[in-house]
Structure 1
C-alpha cells in the first residue's frame, strides 16, 4: 500500500471511529507546524494499526481506552470513550476495561478515568448500555 493509499484508508477509518465532526475540527486546527505529525498519525495509527483485519473496531477501541487510561492520557481517553459509541463497544465493556486498568495499572489510574467516563456518559456521549445497542 502506498503512503497516499495508507493516508486515505487511515482517514476513512479515523472518520468512522471518531466521527466527521471531530476529524473536521482537528483538520481545521492543523497548521504548518503540526501537519507532518497529523499525517503521521493518520497513516500510522489509523491507516496501519486500526486498519488490519485481525481485530474488530470494538476490540481495538477497548484496547486503546485501556492503554490511554493506564498511561494517564486523559484527553485522549475521553475522546476514545466518546468514540466507543461508533465502534460497537458498550458501557459494560468500558466498565470491564477500567476494572482491568485498576488491577494491572493501578487503582488511581482507573479511579481518575472512571470520573472522566462518568462525565462523558452524563453528557450523553460515549458507549451505550448493551440493551440499548441490541434493541
Structure 2
C-alpha cells in the first residue's frame, strides 16, 4: 500500500468527496479491508470515480446521487444501489428524488430493473428509519 504522501492531489480530493458522500465509517471499512490484491482498485475508484467524476463542478452531489442510483439500478448492481441510496443521507437527494429517478429507470431500462431497485430502496429506508428511531 502506498504511503499517504505519495497519493496524487486527485486521490486526496477523491477521498474527501468519497467520505462526504459515503461517510467515514463506510470508507474506513473499505480502506481497512483492502489487501495488496485490491488496493490498486481502491486507489483507482478513489481517484477516478470520486476525485474526477464526483468532484467535478456543475452538478451537485444530490444530482450526481440521483443519476448514479438510476444507472446502478438500470445495470442491476444491487449492492451499489443500496450503498448509494444510503448515501443520500449525505448528498441531499430525497426519497422523492429517488422515486423519480427509478420511474425513469422503469421507462428507459425496464420495469424489472426499477422494481428490484425500489425493493432495495424501501429496505434501505426501513433500515435508516430504524436507526433514526433507535
Q: TM-score, normalised by structure 2?
A: 0.90
**Aligned to 2:59, which of 43, 48, 55?**
55
**Match for residue 21 of structure 2?**
17
**Aligned to 1:76, which of 62, 80, 97?**
80
**Aligned to 1:42, which of 33, 41, 46?**
46
**Match for residue 71 of structure 2?**
67
Could you list the structure 1 runs, at least 4 aligned residues long, displaced by more than 3 angstroms after superposition: none
**Aligned to 1:88, which of 78, 82, 92?**
92
How many pairs were matched up? 124
**Match for residue 101 of structure 2?**
97
Q: Does 1:115 align with 2:119?
A: yes
Deviations 1:19-56 (A, max 9, x none): 00000000011000001111000000000000111110
Deviations 1:67-121 (A, max 9, x none): 0000000000100000011001000001101100000000000001111111000
Gaps of 5+ in 1: 126-135
2:62 and 2:75 map into 1 onto residues whose CA distance is 20
Q: TM-score, normalised by structure 1?
A: 0.89
2:122 and 2:94 map into 1 onto residues whose CA distance is 14
